[in-house]
Structure 1
């Protein structure tokens, strides 16, 4: 339909031009002595139009001819870039597919012919690292550093991140830490870098740094609460173990732990003995009681006796523990804790009763030993020896069970 409309339009214009030309009787007289030329105006118009078109076509032909070497060079450059781009794409695909040798080969070709030589060098370095080829890995990192120096800061960041990540994979944590420190000095703090910092801090025992990094990752939703909890637990426990010889520092560290992190029962169970050994067990008392009131935990209840330090704390803890007893009368952990509290309060008879009940409902080595020590202090050594033997048999039985699980 569109073609038909164009044909009708062209024919209409042709008819219009023919009618106008038929009505035009004008002429043009050209004089150049001794010559004299007389033309119709219509013919002159045709000559001018055709001549202009031919002149334009000739000029275009000459221009294209003169531009031909440049255009050929541009075409060759475009082809070179296309080949380099395909080689780089192939190397990245091969790297993701796990074909590291092919990736290294394609990246080498891309490095030789492409403009993205720094990217190609980094891909080649990753492929060489995956092949455990240390020599070529270092060689390609050197090429990447050369290109980074030429092309600027963006490629420098990519180089440092690659070196840090591959150093972490190779368990060269000091090297990774140095690269990450360079990135920090340049003001970079993105999520991928924070993940690497967490790995380095954990491996090198930088526990306070690990806590700060995990909190940032959790804040940016790069870690869920379930993922962050064990990392924070380990960092807090290890840092508090380092401070175990300084009661004031240990207490100060405990007080600065946020409330939401103190909801981790595993953390409380591990650090409560540390606090108790330096006389700060009462710092965790309210948190332990709150957790047990919210949801009962026999293992945590077994640690409750650590919360009692002075005479007033002992009696308060004993009263609180006995308030749980009606609902948890058969809980071995609570009974053991009550026995320990009664020993501290010098209530020998109640202590013996609670420890015997704890053994009855769930025998443990520590319950046998606590009862044996109590009886020995009461000069009932024969009975104490029986409980010492029971504890030894329990330990031996546990070792036999573990040995039975080992493959033949």
Structure 2
């Protein structure tokens, strides 16, 4: 039905057009210079119509050509992207396997065809580092930094890690210091700084870093406590090298109060004080600490120190027997303090009680030495031999000269 109506309309339009041409054909004159063109108006309309049709056809052809070109370009773009992803994956596999040369080639060849060239260049820099190619590492790090304005931290971290691996800790510190200005609390920056400070034995900086590590480093409290203890021990060692008791005491005042009860740190500090010639301060600190918190290592060290008043020192230790009377370490300490006060019988009594509770090499050696000076050679020899056996250093059974035979 629609076709029929269209045919009728076309016929009617043709008939009308033919009638109009017969009635008045019109006239068109086009003059340009010495050239003139004459035609009826209906011929002009026909020429214009043909021209418009040609323009439309050309436009449609160009548009279709552009679509074909886009399709071809899209095809090659997708092909390059697929190839880039494939080579990047193969490059990562080679990198993990330690095939550095192959990894670098695959990663660099595909860097421009992948959406993540930063990763390609960073891994290529690491592969160059593994190959000992320092210029290559710097070159690829530079390319990595150009891939994005946000790549500076990743590049700095990669560079610092390689510097740490090469033992260039000062250079790594400079690199990380610059990176920290841009990302002060970046966990990876903080973790690497921790490693560098430990390597450089920069204990002051490590202690200053611990609060940030606690907030942003993702490190357990147990590990942070180990780091803080290591840093404090390092500070103590550095201060002890000065041989100045005033400096040691000043350091102890600045140690956080919660660390004053750490037995390991306290023992080390007291030993350093004794080595520096300040046994009195060490004795006082140990006495106060043992009163607050009993610990065998503290008690043992107390017996090895000569305080300013050895009588008072013995009296303080004897007061601890009310709560810890059956402690072998305390009895050993009491015996040693009795020796310092020249109370030989009391010292022997304490040593023997300690021996009965826990016979060990220290007690046996103390008894052996005391028996020698009390002119009891048989007992002295017996305790000395037992001490050696307890240490695993017993002498082999060999013939020995007899005193009676020597006199003959």
Instruction: Place the TM-score, normalised by the shorter chain, in its bin.
Output: 0.5 to 0.7
Distance 1:224 1:290, change over 3 A: farther
**2:404 corresponding residue in structure 1:** none
**2:348 corresponding residue in structure 1:** 352
Residues 257-283 of structure 1: CA deviation (Å, up to 9, x unaligned): 223334433333333322333323134
Tell whether the 8 Å contact from 1:208 to 1:239 is kept in structure 2 after alignment. Answer: yes
Q: Distance in 2 between matches of 1:194 and 1:304?
A: 41
Structure 1 counterpart of 2:292, from 267, 290, 293: 290
Residue 354 of structure 1: CA displacement? 2.3
Corresponding position: 1:337 with 2:333? yes
Tell whether the 8 Å contact from 1:272 to 1:306 is kept in structure 2 after alignment. Answer: no
Residues 342-384 of structure 1: CA deviation (Å, up to 9, x unaligned): 34455443333223333333344444455566667x6658489
Corresponding position: 1:238 with 2:228? no
**2:195 corresponding residue in structure 1:** 199
Distance 1:392 1:115, change over 3 A: same
Corresponding position: 1:182 with 2:184? no
**2:119 corresponding residue in structure 1:** 119
Number of aligned positions between the proteins: 349
Structure 1 counterpart of 2:214, from 210, 218, 231: 218
Residue 325 of structure 1: CA displacement? 2.6
Residue 100 of structure 1: CA displacement? 3.1
Unaligned runs of 5+ in 1: 1-13, 19-28, 37-51, 401-408
Residue 167 of structure 1: CA displacement? 4.2
Superposition pairs of residues 2-401 of structure 1, within 5 angstroms: 34-35=24-25, 59=59, 61-66=61-66, 69=69, 72-73=72-73, 75-92=75-92, 95=95, 98-101=96-99, 103-104=103-104, 106-111=106-111, 113-114=113-114, 116-127=116-127, 133-135=131-133, 138=134, 140-148=136-144, 150-151=146-147, 154-168=150-164, 170=165, 172-173=166-167, 175-186=168-179, 187=181, 188-189=183-184, 190-220=186-216, 222-244=218-240, 245-278=243-276, 279=278, 280-281=281-282, 282-283=284-285, 285-292=287-294, 297-305=295-303, 309-311=307-309, 318-370=314-366, 380=375, 382=377, 386=381, 391-397=387-393
Q: Distance in 1 between matches of 2:262 and 2:75?
A: 66
Residue 151 of structure 1: CA displacement? 4.5
Q: Distance in 2 between matches of 1:62 and 1:298?
A: 96
Distance 1:355 1:181, change over 3 A: farther
Residue 147 of structure 1: CA displacement? 0.9
Secondary structure at the counterpart of residue 243 of structure 1: helix
Tell whether the 8 Å contact from 1:195 to 1:217 is kept in structure 2 after alignment. Answer: yes
Tell whether the 8 Å contact from 2:299 to 2:329 is kept in structure 1 after alignment. Answer: yes
Residues 98-150 of structure 1: CA deviation (Å, up to 9, x unaligned): 43327555424333644644431221343566xx5334xx3541332331464
Tell whether the 8 Å contact from 1:118 to 1:143 is kept in structure 2 after alignment. Answer: no
Residue 390 of structure 1: CA displacement? 5.1
Q: Distance in 2 between matches of 1:285 and 1:371?
A: 25
Residue 56 of structure 1: CA displacement? 8.1
Unaligned runs of 5+ in 2: 6-15, 27-51, 397-408
Q: Distance in 2 between matches of 1:215 and 1:318?
A: 43
Q: Distance in 1 between matches of 2:158 and 2:394?
A: 47
Tell whether the 8 Å contact from 1:365 to 1:394 is kept in structure 2 after alignment. Answer: yes
Q: Distance in 2 between matches of 1:193 and 1:375?
A: 63
Distance 1:182 1:284, change over 3 A: farther
Distance 1:252 1:343, change over 3 A: farther
Tell whether the 8 Å contact from 2:286 to 2:298 is kept in structure 1 after alignment. Answer: no
Residue 393 of structure 1: CA displacement? 4.9
Q: Distance in 2 between matches of 1:163 and 1:384?
A: 69
Distance 1:148 1:125, change over 3 A: closer
Tell whether the 8 Å contact from 1:307 to 1:317 is kept in structure 2 after alignment. Answer: no
Secondary structure at the counterpart of residue 134 of structure 1: coil
**2:38 corresponding residue in structure 1:** none
Q: Distance in 1 between matches of 2:352 and 2:321?
A: 15
Larger radius of gyration: 2
Distance 1:64 1:359, change over 3 A: farther
